[in-house]
Amino acid sequence: MAEVTFNGLTFEPYITREQIAEQIKRVAQEIKNDLRGEEKPIFVGVLTGSFMFASDLYREIDIYDSEIAFIRFKSYEGMQSSGVIKEVMGLDEDIKGRTVIIIEDIVDTGITAARLRARLEALGPKQVKMASLLFKPESLQEGNPPEYVCFSIPSRFILGYGLDLDGVARNLPEIYVLKDK
Ligand code: IMP
Ligand code: MG
């Protein structure tokens, strides 16, 4: 793994493919243990950032009467706080009475996660839990930490394995961190 540069910013290797795979296996096992006896649990991946993590995580969860769905949300822009969810799009499944596991790429301030949980909780599920690939505990301003976390990291900017810089570099197979100047 070598350094990569985008838009004049240099990123250095941070988490390898092997480390990602290892932590996904661990988290998948935790989730499987907790889902024992649950009827038709549903995983909800948040696009776009979580697509790679969701795919790898869900493959490790051999509970075949579960479902997976993907949602996207729109935030207010301009004058409004960017963390305010305007609309959740794409959830056609009925989650009433079911256990929901949200799959996120990263929880930073926690604002997005908290709003999203509230939106889903309003639809009457049995419970809503969250699995996040990355979590920056020192940045958390709102809501609870995700129930399942692959990596807790310092508050630095991360790229790759689904996470983007202005829309690009999501297909880097490893995780990179913005280099200190
Ligand atoms: P929040 O601050 O927890 O609401 O996170 C909002 C969104 O910011 C996340 O869903 C990511 O899309 C993005 N984000 C936060 N930290 C990073 C990062 O280090 N790299 C790339 N995107 C990030
Ligand atoms: Mg996101």
Spell out the domains of the chain, with CATH numbers in brackets: 16-165 (3.40.50.2020)
| Global pTM exceeds 0.75 | yes
* Structural element, H or E, at residue 24: helix 17-34
Residue 139 CA to ligand 2 centre (angstroms): 15
Residue 141 CA to ligand 1 centre (angstroms): 13
Q: How confident is the model at residue 83 (pLDDT cuts 50, 70, 90)?
A: low
Q: How confident is the model at residue 86 (pLDDT cuts 50, 70, 90)?
A: low
135 bridge partner residues: 107, 152
Which strands make up the sheet holding 67-75, listed edge to edge? 85-89, 67-75, 42-46, 99-107, 127-135, 148-152
Residues with a beta carbon under 5 angstroms from ion ligand 2: 49, 105
pLDDT of residue 169: 95
3 bridge partner residues: none
**Mean pLDDT along residues 119-127:** 95
- The span from the first CA to the last CA of the chain, in angstroms, equals 20
From the list 84, 138, 68, 79, the residue with the least C-alpha distance to 107 is 138
Q: Which two tokens stand for residue 113?
A: 């996660």
* pLDDT over 70 at 80, yes or no: no
**Mean pLDDT along residues 85-92:** 78
Q: Which of 108, 164, 166, 180 is catalytic?
A: 108
Collapsed DSSP state (helix, strand, coil) of residue 108: coil
